[in-house]
Amino acid sequence: MGMKRSRMEEVVELVAKLAASYTGYEHSSVTYETAQMLMGAAMYCIQEYEGQQKDGMLEGDQASASQAYQMGYEKVLEKTTRLKECYHAMIPEFQDYGMKCLSEVILQGIPAFLVNYDAKYMPQDTILTLDYPILESLKGMSGVDAVFRYLQCICLEQKFLAVFEGTYVRDVLRVFHEDYEELFENICEIVLQNMYGHLILQKPFAKLEISREEHEEIEKIAAEKTVGELEADVNQMIMMLVERYFENDVELYQYLSKDSRNIAVRVKHWVYVKQ
């Protein structure tokens, strides 16, 4: 009986088959860069397969590299379809609130990704720069995994922001910066910071402006608290909002609360800017 091939030998054989397919089966010789690209494609799909195995598999029953790749590739296609469905479901109610970087990535970037994404030969390619900053790190993610999670985060933000009436969000952004449209800032972070400032002052959210005197009061209160204490306060405020307006949506709370520390730091060092 022959010796069992190593996992790497299986992967190399898989990449060779991908190379033959990539060149139209005319030859299997490809450049080093193309070979690296195809190796990345193979590993991406294999990892996609392995990622959905909750408890792992016994070594003796482990799927071959070719089988793992095929099942992972099918998962990539499925996720791409889900991304498309999620996008089309969100877009009718989508609001960019005048933030250009958000508008560009959603109205131009995502459609371009869906048109140009190569699930077979370059599934690891994210294509987009995803310039609008979300509240969650996508470190370690790429391809459709990164773009799909990014869009899910945007959907959560849209859900949160949609609860506010009229031009409230735009007005809050304008108070934050006169030319906010050109900024690369997260909208929810700005809105939540503004709301927390009002909460400290016990001032109605509808009265957007915060005067110099009120800023001094915020500075005084914030100076008496640690960043950790402020973070806990912000978390409590977010929980209150989610309980009141979103029926205790756990996913929304978990997402928004990822930014609690950043908001606490901002409040701690909140600089008054006269509009």
The domain spans of the chain are: 7-50+62-72, 165-275
Alpha-carbon Rg for the chain in angstroms: 24
Q: What is the mean pLDDT of residues 89-118?
A: 97
Higher pLDDT, 227 or 273: 227
pLDDT in tens, 219-266: 888 889 999 999 999 999 999 999 999 999 999 999 999 999 999 999
Q: With contact defined as beta carbons under 8 Å apart, do 211 and 175 qualify?
A: no
User: What one-letter code names the amino acid at 9?
Assistant: E
pLDDT in tens, 57-82: 434 457 888 999 999 999 999 999 99
pLDDT (0 to 100) of residue 51: 83
| E strands in 76-213 | none
The pair of structure tokens assigned to 131 is 């310039």
Whole-prediction pTM: 0.90
Q: Of 228, 222, 231, whose CA–CA distance to 256 is shortest? A: 231
